[in-house]
Structure 1
Amino acid sequence: MTFRSPFQLVNTAGVNPQSSCFARSFASKASGSRQKQSEARKDVSTVEDPFDAPTYNIPEKPVTFTEGASYSLIILAGLAVAGAAAYGVFKELIFQPKEYKIFNKGLKRVQNDGQVKARIGSPVTGYGSESRNRAARQRIPNRIWTDEDGVEHVEVNFYIRGPHGAGKVYTEMFQDKVDKQWKFTYLIVEIKSPSPAQLMLESYVPA
């Protein structure tokens, strides 16, 4: 029996040992190259794109003293306007002017009077002047004074209208010093249509 070396056996099988070593060396280099390319791609992917950065990283332009002062003035002006409007509404609703208080009392007295309703009908409405301007109609002509005894008087006059006619009201009230209540000095209704008439609804007689 003839003994053959491993190289002879390989040669007999038709495989070149040098070629096999070369193939293993090439595969190892190719694998290493692919690993390096993969790591390079990972490194590239982890680099942040400056164009994709959040917009809040952009530094803001500093506000100058002049701009800050202008903004403060605008804010203060807005608060002042809002405060004035709120005060006007509060004063109108809570602190009703005396002339409007007397107007409301006089109109209510006229609206409840049977003579007035018989002549001009019902309901009866009241307004400050014969004008189409709403603001002018809401203004009530008045006179306020204090007599020698320290008693405050308020005099108003206004127009009234019903379904069948119209007229004008003249009234004065004073604030009693004892009970602090407003009382009529007089209340006169001058009917102008449909037929002229004058009605004395209130007349103060001292006790």
Structure 2
Amino acid sequence: MICAFLRVVQHAEKLHGSLGRQLLPHFVFTKACFKTQPLRWGLREQKITVQPRTVLRFTQKTFWTQGPDPRKAKEDSTKQVSIRRNQREETGVSMSQKVREAGRDVSYLIVVLFGVGLTGGLLYAIFKELFFSSSPNIIYGKALGKCRTHPEVIGVFGEPLKGYGEMSRRGRRQHVRFSEYVNNGLKRIRVKFYIEGSEPGKQGTVHAEVEENPGSGQFEFRYIFVEVTPTRSIIVEDNRSEQS
């Protein structure tokens, strides 16, 4: 009996020991959780209370980071001053360039106008020499034509009859000597040129004069004569008695 009782007690101790070992970790863990639960809540509350500080610190840091930097502000002001200075310099340069371009354009315009005026004057002179009755060349051509149809002139000099002007430096005889004057308010022009024909050694000097007609404005011959020798002249046309 005693042996059986001892076995029961031993078995009960073993059973109690195994249950104790199984329940001990759970009890310890629960107790630990119970004891650490306020600590964890405290940590959570600390996180909650600290988090706004962190946010404020981050916001403050961001604010101070994004705030104006004195060096950067100085650099920006320097850049603005340099930009304004460059703009002023560019404005000054552009104004000077415009002034130079305007002066150059004016000079070009003056040159062009001078060229146009000179060309117009030359064209007028050529037109006057070729078509106006007061041109010395026109007077020379008409007088030479009358000499070529005059029988006495042809008999002395022969045919064909040619005329020429004064000898120039280049050896040409195209210049016709002439003079202009006014008599009783009327303009007169005298011309002088030379003629030659087929007769060898024969040369004549032609003198002709025209006077302006007050009615028509045209120039008419007063006289045309050919000087053969100092003592002999051939009268081609003489209207001095009618005009006087």
Query: TM class, shorter-chain normalised?
Result: 0.5 to 0.7
What 5-or-longer segments of structure 2 have no aligned partner?
1-93
What 5-or-longer segments of structure 1 have no aligned partner?
1-61
CA contact (8 A) 2:167 2:174 kept: no
Residue 109 (str. 1) matches residue 131 (str. 2): no
Q: Among 214, 217, 241, which residue is 1:177 paired with?
A: 214
When the two chains are superposed, the root-mean-square deviation of aligned CA atoms in Å is 3.3
Q: Distance in 2 between matches of 1:144 and 1:176?
A: 15
Q: Among 104, 107, 112, which residue is 1:70 paired with?
A: 104
Q: Distance in 2 between matches of 1:117 and 1:68?
A: 67
Residue 155 (str. 1) matches residue 171 (str. 2): no
Residue 167 of structure 1: CA displacement?
1.7
Could you say which structure has the larger radius of gyration?
A: 2
What is the total number of aligned residue pairs between the two structures?
Answer: 142
Residue 180 of structure 1: CA displacement?
4.4
Q: TM-score, normalised by structure 2?
A: 0.47
Residue 142 (str. 1) matches residue 178 (str. 2): yes
Percent of residue pairs bearing the same amino acid type: 23
Residue 92 (str. 1) matches residue 126 (str. 2): yes
Code of the residue aligned with 1:124 in structure 2: it is L
Residue 92 of structure 1: CA displacement?
1.9
Code of the residue aligned with 2:149 in structure 1: it is N
Q: Distance in 2 between matches of 1:118 and 1:202?
A: 17
Structure with the largest fraction of helix: 2
Residue 121 (str. 1) matches residue 158 (str. 2): yes
| Change in CA separation of 1:120 and 1:131 when aligned onto 2, cut-off 3 Å | farther
- Name which structure has the greater RCO, CA cutoff 8 Å, separation 6+: 1
CA contact (8 A) 1:130 1:159 kept: no
Q: TM-score, normalised by structure 1?
A: 0.54
Superimposed CA distance per residue, residues 135-177 of structure 1 (whole angstroms, 9 cap, x where no aligned partner): x7443322222223x3332222112233434321111122333
Q: Distance in 2 between matches of 1:114 and 1:69?
A: 67
Q: Distance in 1 between matches of 2:225 and 2:101?
A: 63
Superimposed CA distance per residue, residues 70-117 of structure 1 (whole angstroms, 9 cap, x where no aligned partner): 244134313422431233123321464543332222122112222223
In the other structure, the counterpart of 1:21 is: none
Code of the residue aligned with 1:86 in structure 2: it is G
